[in-house]
Chain A
């Protein structure tokens, strides 16, 4: 992928410096017809504001919720979404692919 994610990592740094709790979610593996390639990322702050994407919009809500826990605990976690996964049905990864998303605290 050619890099077009400038604003996301810049926002992560700016938010952190402004004293916000910040988490970064990154697609690390994809199988099947995943909507966004590995390396795609989403930045979230503790007010629930987020920028970027890890899917076509299907799992962002669930990722933001998990990210809130990661900001609290400081411990990274790996999330998996896909058709074989009950959660995926709940949040609706409609494209039929599977993705793994690494969520980490910034700072």
Chain B
């Protein structure tokens, strides 16, 4: 690997931008393709598929044997609300490979006893969220049920273009939330991005089951192509 390619690869990874390194395994020739350049790449469709699956693979194209090495940033999950559901959600998300952070200004909720081994930030979203570098490889869930906490958090998630945004609450609660967020400058397209009621409809009852439905929905959004995604939701 040429040093300039290695340097660029490390820079892209440090910036949490997805890239694929394409290697001709016979000649050793390599090129780095940024996700933003997939559309104009001759291997675009393949690259897109592999990135979505988060899987490296060998392919044959134009009589060449190519290895597509996928470098996708580690997905993050930000949970706003140190509630009972979050106690089940945090360890489940970690077992799926997510870097998890729980945010809740209410110290009675955000206590290490309730969340052993999970990074906790007992601050209001306005203070807690900016240092977390929420980005498009972040899933974001707001589950406090308290508009004072959930609303500013959701506005931050819109701004940072999280790949998944979910919020707890019935359809009625969600309609009211939409009105409040619009009043604070959110666009209809932002509101439409919120998965609410949160999670896939699997009839979840207990906090652990709700956690499973949330992670199933996040996985679907992360992995499925856009059309199948709509069908699952």
Contact = CB atoms under 8 A, between A and B. Distances in A.
B27 to A, nearest CB: 8
Interface stretch (A9-17, A51-59, A87-95): A9-17
A6 B15 CA distance: 12
Majority SS of interface residues in chain A? mixed
B54 interface: yes
A75 B29 CA distance: 11
A2 B223 CA distance: 12
B213 interface: no
A102 B75 contact: no
B200 interface: no
Nearest to B4: A107
Contact of B3 (A28, A39, A104, A106): A106
Which of A3, A12, A29 counts the most chain B CB atoms within 10 A? A3
A3 B72 contact: yes
Contacts of B2: 107
Interface string B41-74: 0000000000000111110000000010111111
A13 B10 contact: yes
Interface residues of B, number: 26
A1 B56 contact: yes
A104 B67 contact: no
A46 to B, nearest CB: 16
Contacts of A1: 54-56, 70
B77 to A, nearest CB: 12
A58 B98 CA distance: 29
B13 A3 contact: yes
A39 B6 contact: no
